[in-house]
Chains A and B, each alone.
Chain A
Amino acid sequence: MRAVIKDSIGVFHPQGFLDGASSASLLSIEDIEQTVKSNASMILVSLKKVIFFNRNGLDTFVKMFQKVRIANHITVGFCDYDKKKYNAIKKFYNDDVNFSLFKTQKIASLFSASFKEKNQNILLFSDDKSQRAALAIELHDNGHNPIVAQTQKEFLQKAEVKDAYDIIIEDTFLGQMGQQVATRVTGNAIIYTLSSFLDAEIGNTFNIAYHNNSLNVGFRLFIFDVYKVVSMNIHALNFFSKLASSAAEYNATLCFIGMSFDKTPILFKETLEDSGMMFFNQMDDILQNKELLDELGASSAVSGKNKRAINKVLVTELPNFIDATVTTIEMMTNSKAVKDAAKVNKIEITDQSDKIASSIGFYGDIDGMIMLVFPLGIAKKACELLIGESTEDKELILDTLAELVNIVGGKVKTLLADEHISVNITLPRTYQDMNGLLEVAEGKKGVQVDLSFDNDKFLFFLTR
């Protein structure tokens, strides 16, 4: 089957009934690869003319999607469906949807960078809070103006207003688009999810470079969600022991949540505990316990290793970094930025009150870290756009700020790629006051750029 390619989106249009057997005959991996070669940045299967599908039918496509997504870093999924089909897909895959769902092709095109009609007014809603944020960010990143409804009720009310929006988005889901080893949660802990059998293979599947860079950036709590792990063998034991010992050098903590020792020798638990690994039965034992969370290092950071100075490569790339940051913040706050000063030194924050910060690391051809210090006012303004209304909830602001820094990171990655410098980015980290940030940045030399947004001062710090 051939795809129709428009706006860099390759869409396949199967028709009739989809089950395991027919799907495999309709579409082959070669068909998809051919489409990718024609410069498609998104591969979708339209369900418009599909009257019946079952899980097996979709699975055949999903398996092929996985392959091309991992090999080409493109968005994959389904489009053109009604509510009934959307609910059926969500039900088939429970909470484990690792592809994207776009209600229409038009909606999908809004998420494609090559879409020509920018500046669309878009009303959007999803039951899932993180989906709402992800959708809004992506749309913003593509030059649109998203308005996020926080509740179904609000959504329906807003949607009733005729001609108020160019497009209304619902029943849409953004699946994994890039990094898939970790999930960030409030409290600056990184959660890795593992399943089935842990053996020597873990050394290949676990992204160690990513993990080390997360340590460098200042993450101090790493949680392994192992509810779905059946058993662990000696090779995996060695791997995790080493991981835990090396984390200890950074003062970081590694935890296993929900590990069952039915099929794993209980002796392994002792070995892991000796190397510093902690065990908990449930995720909430940690995440709902703020004191424990603080104690385990989720908000403190003493960076013992690698006080590396800024180097020439980073300085050469500086304009790119500043560009990415400034345009993103300008876009989000609807204001103009003016560059005040730039100097190479240790970070210097004159007025530390009422400021929050976030940081994101990058690694690959060049390594480094970007830190952004926001006055609470600017942060609130930026968040207003993503949340859809003003808020005083500091945790919510920090969360949104993390997403904002994520966008900056993504932009930097793209800009560097244009210069043939390939980097990956870590998850963003947030700091609710300057003490936490200074602990990480202490002693590090870097480039500091002071910026003014209207009357607010804003600080950009690039270091290694």
Chain B
Amino acid sequence: MSGALLLLATLGTSLVAAVVIFLLPERAFRARTGINLGAALVKLSLVAWMVWGLSHGREYVIEFPVLEGLAFVLRADDLGIMFAGLSSLLWLLTTIYAIGYLEDSPNRKRFFGFFGLCVASTLGISLAGNLFTFLVFYELLTLSTYPLVVHRGTSKALAAGKVYLRFTLTAGMGLMVGMVILHVLAGDIRFGEREILAELGPERRPLLVGLFWVLIAGFGVKAALVPLHGWLPRAMVAPAPVSALLHAVAVVKAGAFGIVRLVYDVYGIELSAELGLLYGLVVVASVTILFGSLRALAQQELKPRLAYSTVSQVSYIVLGIGLFGPLGTIAALSHLLHQGLMKITLFFCAGNYAEELGIHRIDELDGAGRRMPLTSLAFTVGALGMIGLPPVVGFLSKWYLGTGAIQAGMPWVIIVLVASSLLNAAYFLPVLGRLWFRPGPDHGVGAWPEERRLGRLETHGWLLVPAVATALFSLMAGMLAGMPFSPLEWATRVVNAEYLP
């Protein structure tokens, strides 16, 4: 298959799946499940094929003109394919989870239709070859996630959707204006051609600095940088698979990935450092990391605690970008994947506790480890990873961040990292303690809020398998980090291309 066709097929898989799902009647449960899983598997294999091709020096590009001097470009590069791989792998698992989670609930057709559109947009973001194409899919992502956020149709969900749109659409307009200004300044900026902005005269420098922060604000809303994170905890009213999608696969990741593209492919790391932009990023990221962790500590419910933990963890990516140097970059890029794996595990588990036992608050979790051992094990793996304990993969992120900080000459960042790890431990360890060491209803103390016995296993199989699988992936990515095609190895590959001429 030619490169262009492969790209189109990859993007088209989820688009076509979405359209077919919209055309199927609501009651066609089996057909919908088949199409969902089939499309997810096909897409995962197509992405895997491209990963293989890229590592053998193949090129995947397709483009056509939209306006004079502006093209729609899809291009798979090492960086983009990382994100594409993450989203297709996690899409498969989230689809499995969502099928189990939404069993017998209304509006499933709408849910899976927009779910497919959402993942297609994410893939488009990862494969976009210039800013224009990036913006197209970035805004499509906003549109396609809205129906998922308000899926339940309750007044709380609708209010959360309103806040979500207010943040994201305003940010989208900021991004669009910023990108048009860049276009006016420098023409069509393709990712991978890094010198365009650096060649502008020194009189443009203040404008470039201003634009950078406008664009960072635009991406920062989705990446939930403080103080633009307000929508994320509220969006927790959405069903658990949507939360998983928002936090691990699509929305916050799209924001973080946008920042990666902006720094490495639009401004270029040299120019960003020269303009003093990276230092600002490190400060913003550090504030967000500490603030998110502190707020997470204050939450009494499980999902909001995880939400604030996301606010904090995603900023590790931004922090890594800000540390000018190869180690920081490796940390940033690999954390993009690592955080996705760990966070989705945690959300799957939180969803399982809520579905099987009706647990929403942390103090209701006492003794749940005995009742749901596999889910609790998976949760433990995710939580330990977030704290940064080896051999879970989160340890690697923090290790590279720390060494990167020293390399970049910003040792104070290590204090932020240590403080954040302590805070992570402070809000995750009590949860683990309750899970495993407190007596609960299964020890004859109290009762579960709403027990449902969904399957022969500890819960419904469709809910259990994805959680265990992502936990295993988080472990394996940590233990097999030196193997080819591991997230860390691939991130190193990207960084080598970036820093070595």
Is chain B found bound to chain A in the same assembly?
Answer: no
**A-contacting residues of B (Cβ < 8 Å)?**
none
**B-contacting residues of A (Cβ < 8 Å)?**
none
